[in-house]
Structure 1
Amino acid sequence: MKTGLLEHVNVTVAKPQDTADLMCRLFDWHIRWAGPSALGGQTAHVGTDTAYIALYSPASLETAGARNIAAPGHLNHIGVVVEDLDAVEARVIKAGYEPASHGDYEPGRRFYFFDENGIEFEVVSYS
C-alpha cells in the first residue's frame, strides 16, 4: 500500500489573487489555476507541481469570529519548508509582515508570521 500524500489544503481568504501573488513572491511558487469557484466566488491554486493551497473567496465574506486554534476544525498554521530561511524571512519583512517566534531546534530553524487574512505561516528550514 502506498503512503498517502497531501495534495492541497483549502482556506478562505479575502482576495485569492492577492494572497496567491504573495505566496509566489515569498516561496517561489506558481499559480496552478485561478478562476470562478464552482460554489460561487473566486479560487486560486498556488504551490508546486505536486502540492498547493487552494485559496477560496465566496461571493460574500462573512465576518469571522475570534481565532481559536484550540477549537476542533480550526486551522492552526500552514508549515512551509524552505532551503534558505534567512532569505525568505527578508522577503516576508519586505512584504510588510512581521516574523515572530523564531526557534532553533533539532533538526532545523523556524519562524512564524500572519498574513492579512489572519492565517499563520510557519516557515522552517532543515538545511
Structure 2
Amino acid sequence: MAAQLEHTNFTVTDPDRTAKWMCNLFDWHIRWTGDSRTTGYSVHVGTDTHYLALYAPKAGNLNAPIDNYTTQGGLNHIAVVVDDIAAMRARVEAAGFEAGEHFDYEPGQRFYFYDDDHIEYEVVQYD
C-alpha cells in the first residue's frame, strides 16, 4: 500500500474560528480539540480519514507573518477538491473571503483565497 497523507499541522491565531469556517465551507467536522504542544491548543478538522491540525501557541507567542513562498519549509497553500467550483466560489465570498483569480487549465479549474491568518487556499475542480 502506498503511503497516504493523513494530516497537516500548521499555526493559526484562533483554531476554533478557523475550524468553524472550514466546517461551514467544506462540510468538514471537528475530530478533536485539546491542549497541545508547549501549552498550546489544537483543533483537528476534516473528514474521517484526512484532517488539518490547527495549532495556536500560548498567548503572545505568535510571530509576525512571513512570506512562506520564500522561506524554506514554508507553507505555500492548502488545496481542496470540490465538485462545483462556481458554488464553492460563491460560498467563499459569502463567508467574507475574497476569491482570487480563476484559472482554467489541465487537468481542471481553480481559484485561490486567503483566510484571516494570510494562509492561501486553492480550490480545484477536476474536469
Task: Identify the TM-score tier after normalising by the shorter chain.
Answer: over 0.9
Aligned length: 126
TM-score (norm 1): 0.93
Number of the residue aligned with 2:84: 84
For residues 51 and 65 of structure 1, the distance between their equivalents in structure 2, rounded to whole angstroms, comes to 26
Number of the residue aligned with 2:29: 30
Deviations 1:16-64 (A, max 9, x none): 0000001001111111111211431210000111110000001033222
Please give the residue correspondences for 1:26-105 in structure 2 after superposition, counting only pairs within 5 Å. 26-60=25-59, 61-105=61-105
For residues 104 and 65 of structure 1, the distance between their equivalents in structure 2, rounded to whole angstroms, comes to 30
Where does the alignment leave 5 or more consecutive residues of structure 1 unmatched?
none
**Off by >4 Å, runs of 4+ in structure 1:** none
Name the aligned partner's letter for residue 75 of structure 1: L
For residues 34 and 68 of structure 1, the distance between their equivalents in structure 2, rounded to whole angstroms, comes to 26
For residues 33 and 54 of structure 1, the distance between their equivalents in structure 2, rounded to whole angstroms, comes to 9
For residues 65 and 56 of structure 1, the distance between their equivalents in structure 2, rounded to whole angstroms, comes to 15
Number of the residue aligned with 1:119: 119
Give the Å deviation of 1:86.
1.1
Shifted more, 99-108 versus 3-12: the winner is 99-108
SS of structure 2 residue aligned to 1:26: helix
SS of structure 2 residue aligned to 1:56: strand
Q: Over the residues paired in the alignment, what is the CA RMSD in angstroms?
A: 1.2
SS of structure 1 residue aligned to 2:42: strand
Number of the residue aligned with 1:5: 4
CA gap 1:23/1:65 in 2 versus in 1, 3 angstroms: closer
Shifted more, 43-52 versus 68-77: the winner is 68-77
Where does the alignment leave 5 or more consecutive residues of structure 2 unmatched?
none
